Structure 1
């Protein structure tokens, strides 16, 4: 695979070609990836896969007109054709007064932060197979597990580079490792249940032991066998950390610059107002060492830094790329996210809700009847109104304790009300790109099956 410096050279070269071909401005992204995946089932090797890719994306501007193209063919002839096509397309595109590169005076300069995203290790199929087998063996060893959907282990390394025609060139490399297991429990008479466990990290040494991952998958599925019906009515609902993070994700979508500029967000007029309960703080930290979404700069070459999106319940900022910032008359916030094709969008990095002050057991000990949710089903969230309705599964809470499993019920509310009636527990753990502790929300509507 190319080095970070070589990736920078590839991106900078295509930008230079675009300027020579008549573009007024341009930026380019180069991405290379190599990955190895191994899967097993019932103790036998099922598949070994290896993939390698190199892609180049170019965006050009002719005045306020722009066009984007991408390719996996990096030969000299193909790149020459790509540049000519992009410039010709831009000349025919409609004008967009908000389009353009990031402000030159805001670009990141100097040494990037040290994020330690690449552990420089090389994985091999044999070691990944051993990890997958260990995870599946542990999952199948849990009493009550009746079948396996398999286990897997993977390793990858990627290099990403960005170059612009107005003074920025930067790149970084990252590794990623994961182990997962998925198993079944129950029978035809009682109903089959399925659950899983998964862990992903930047450094291999930070992975949980495969046996722990498998054992957790087994314990989760056995607990879900023979579910009952959930009660109906307005009840306290407690979200397991696995799915609590989805609520934080709904916040980031609602404060994205494009949603605000288009007036399609349920938080449209909420900047500077209370949107969460007092004491709730939500942060975005692109500088987290080994973070799954850490990055030294954003998708337009702007510096990034930790920021509170919500501080003590108050909404502090939008997430803005340059185009949405211009449209709103504001400054970009360093949250531009760039794929290979198209214009930048916005995305947080390592997004998380800070831990609260009380343990999960204390969070539920005063609930006479409620629901503990471990799985959400469907996509019933309206980003314009905030209306929320999701299928769910989990456990009944009775007299302050988790009791029987329940499934095939619906939870509903409105995200503005849910945010204001939310209480976080103290069990925050950084396992995903977006993280949250156990969350309790008062008065959600539950419709039992």
Structure 2
């Protein structure tokens, strides 16, 4: 593993980005922005107590986007390189300038307004040097211990699809021709295991994982293995259920997938293309009072946190839905101009090309009731633990997905069910969220607690 980057080395990367922008301007560009990203990743996979694969790799690259022409009539071109030498950067800039000359004029393309630029100061806890200090042997041991805990939990856990430990440390640098330069360092690590339970010839699999930006944030491998085993075991002897309309509870893992569909619907790109059922609905009551959805890239230590977005706009907290009222879309500068709005600091991209729109920490605010209390209030219904394919249609709002889970009778989880489809329309689903659980946990940039939806159609036998 390479040595940690010193402040002088970090300054060098910032200077490379700033120099690339200056070269673009000298070559005739009216605007430019440069991103540099570097990182080291590690991954080990074990299966049935043996190492199956191991990967350790580093990457480093730069990308530039140039604009030619006056504001309101600009053309854009992009290029990237893994060669950060002066010659490599020069070739990258030249290629982007050549491409910009042959692209179409777009009246909405451009950089953010200067007043929209900035960055958060202070420690956002994005990097933990303890992750860089982890030895290969320790990481392998974590995966082996997680799988062992699952396999040893119950005699019916007879197989494993594997366990894995992954880690990453990296740095991101951004500069543009409006005078913005910034950088930040990140780290992350994760552990997961997928045990297989077998009984009477039937087999069921499930998984559990833990992920954090800091080493101390990980759950123990024994806990990960135990929970994964419990989840696999409770799926044994699944039944089919009759087609019917019942209340549906999404556990946090599946609620997060549903929230991902909501993100697509409030994405500014979907809005200006009229490809969302929420287009033109700002200020409208589109959900129940229990639902508040927030995008907040300022919360220290979380996966969606950054000091600035991928256009140099400062990260912020945006209330998207407040007590059921649609308050804001999520925007980069391009979609903001298309909609005559202001960026929400959600620009996202790799190292080159036009910025897309991505979440900060996009989540549903926790409610007051525990999952157990929510389940206890349902006389007959479905508790969804897995969604299989499908999802929401952002344009129409129609929702359909294969599912598996546990059937609720008299307020208790009674038996597993599988080979079913759940369906509804997101317009009605948002209005019929009767309860929001207290169990909000961030295992990624998108997070949701338990959700109770008053009624959905279950298609079974």
TM-score category by the smaller chain? over 0.9
* 1:71 correspondence with 2:81: yes
Q: 1:51 aligns with which of 57, 80, 83?
A: 57
Matches within 5 A, 1:47-446: 47-63=53-69, 64-108=74-118, 112-121=121-130, 122-143=133-154, 144-187=156-199, 189-422=200-433, 423-446=435-458
User: Deviation at 1:178?
Assistant: 0.7
Write the distance in 2 (CA, Å) between the matches of 1:330 and 1:428.
31
Give how far 1:307 is off.
Answer: 2.1
Q: Which runs of 5+ in 1 are unaligned?
A: none
Whether the 8 Å contact between 2:290 and 2:436 is mirrored in structure 1 is no
TM-score (normalizing by structure 2): 0.94
Q: Equivalents in 1 of 2:98, 2:63: separation in Å?
A: 16
Greater Cα offset, 58-67 or 338-347: 338-347
Rounded to whole Å, the distance in 2 between the matches of 1:13 and 1:228 is 64
- Checking the alignment, whether the CA contact within 8 Å between 1:297 and 1:334 is kept in structure 2 is yes
- The equivalent residue for 1:41 is 47
Contact 1:159 1:174 in 2 (8 A): yes
Is the partner of 1:378 in helix, strand or coil? Answer: strand
| 1:21-49 deviation digits (Å, cap 9, x = unpaired) | 22111001110010111221222222221
SS in 2 for 1:263: coil
| Whole-angstrom CA distance in 2 between matches of 1:326 and 1:113 | 31
Q: 1 CA distance for matches of 2:373 and 2:193?
A: 31
- Cα distance in 2 for residues equivalent to 1:242 and 1:151: 19
Structure 2 distance, partners of 1:130, 1:443, is 45
- In the superposition, the TM-score normalised over structure 1's length comes to 0.97
Query: What's the offset of the Cα at 1:9?
Result: 2.1
Deviates more, 1:415-424 or 1:304-313: 304-313
Q: In 1, Cα distance between the equivalents of 2:192 and 2:373? A: 31
* Contact map agreement 1:113 1:287 (CA 8 A) in 2: no
CA distance in 1, matches of 2:13, 2:272: 34
Q: What CA distance in whole angstroms lies between the structure 1 residues aligned with 2:254 and 2:170?
A: 28
Query: What residue in structure 2 maps to residue 13 of structure 1?
Result: 19
Structure 2 residues not aligned, in runs of 5+: none
| Distance in 1 separating the partners of 2:391 and 2:302 | 30
Q: Please say if residues 152 and 179 of structure 1, whose CA atoms lie closer than 8 Å, have aligned partners that are also in contact.
A: yes
Q: Distance in 2 between matches of 1:83 and 1:432?
A: 35
The alpha-carbon deviation at position 347 of structure 1 amounts to 1.4
Contact 1:7 1:159 in 2 (8 A): no
- 1:336-391 CA-to-partner distances (Å, cap 9, x unmatched) read 11221210111121111111122222212232221110000112421100100000
